[in-house]
Chain A
Amino acid sequence: NAGVTQTPKFQVLKTGQSMTLQCAQDMNHEYMSWYRQDPGMGLRLIHYSVGAGITDQGEVPNGYNVSRSTTEDFPLRLLSAAPSQTSVYFCASSYAGTGAINEQFFGPGTRLTVL
């Protein structure tokens, strides 16, 4: 199994450009999520999905869109990049049992710089 994969690993954008960060998992996990990691702030949840066709907002959703058309893929879209979106982005997945969530598996991250 490849686990959770993310592309690209690095990206530089200009303010106002759009792009999509790709995330895929081959573990048949129902639950997928996107986090951003900023210095001194830990990881903050952007959006998450509990299954194909179902998405919801996390702590910091503004400026980002997601969709979940398949179980495997959960892309994150930046419609108009801003310097405040400079960060490292992590995708994660897990089984979605009842009650507390199971172990989340993280991708290697995408380092995004917006100029």
Chain B
Amino acid sequence: GNSVTQMEGPVTLSEEAFLTINCTYTATGYPSLFWYVQYPGEGLQLLLKATKADDKGSNKGFEATYRKETTSFHLEKGSVQVSDSAVYFCALSAPALTFGSGTRLQVQP
């Protein structure tokens, strides 16, 4: 079946540090890939997505590239802010969403 594996957290960084959250997937066919973000006490919001191989999704300074050869969709940001502190979920659709377990990011001033 489909599955998504992402690095365990929490990830603790200082403000302006570089962020990478790893995500790999297993799926049949060609799923779309997503990153969702969940701020404390809120529901999930779509952060970015990519629908085919080599697509790069980007939003709010975050980026992720759909790598079919390595079945990966790693999330990156060049300079994190305290306001980026949240839980980040990698997901694939085929067609229902399959989520990773989430990675908590804590950014310290």
Q: Which residues of A contact B (CB under 8 A)?
A: 31, 33, 35, 40-45, 48, 58, 90, 92, 96, 99-101, 103-109
Q: Which residues of B contact A33 (CB under 8 A)?
A: 96-97
Count the A-B residue pairs with Cβ separation under 8 angstroms: how many?
A: 57
B69 part of interface (Cβ distance < 8 Å): no
Q: Which of A42, A58, A109 contacts B100 (CB 8 A)?
A: A42
B96 touches A48 (CB 8 A): yes
Q: Is the interface of A mostly helix, strand, loop or mixed?
A: loop
Q: In the complex where A40-B101, A41-B101 touch, is A101 in contact with B95 (Cβ < 8 A)?
A: yes
Q: How many residues of B contact A (CB 8 A)?
A: 24
A98 vs chain B, min Cβ distance (A): 9
Q: Which residues of A contact B94 (CB under 8 A)?
A: 100
Q: CA separation between A103 and B4, bound complex, in Å?
A: 18
Q: CA separation between A50 and B32, bound complex, in Å?
A: 18
B102 touches A45 (CB 8 A): no
A87 vs chain B, min Cβ distance (A): 14
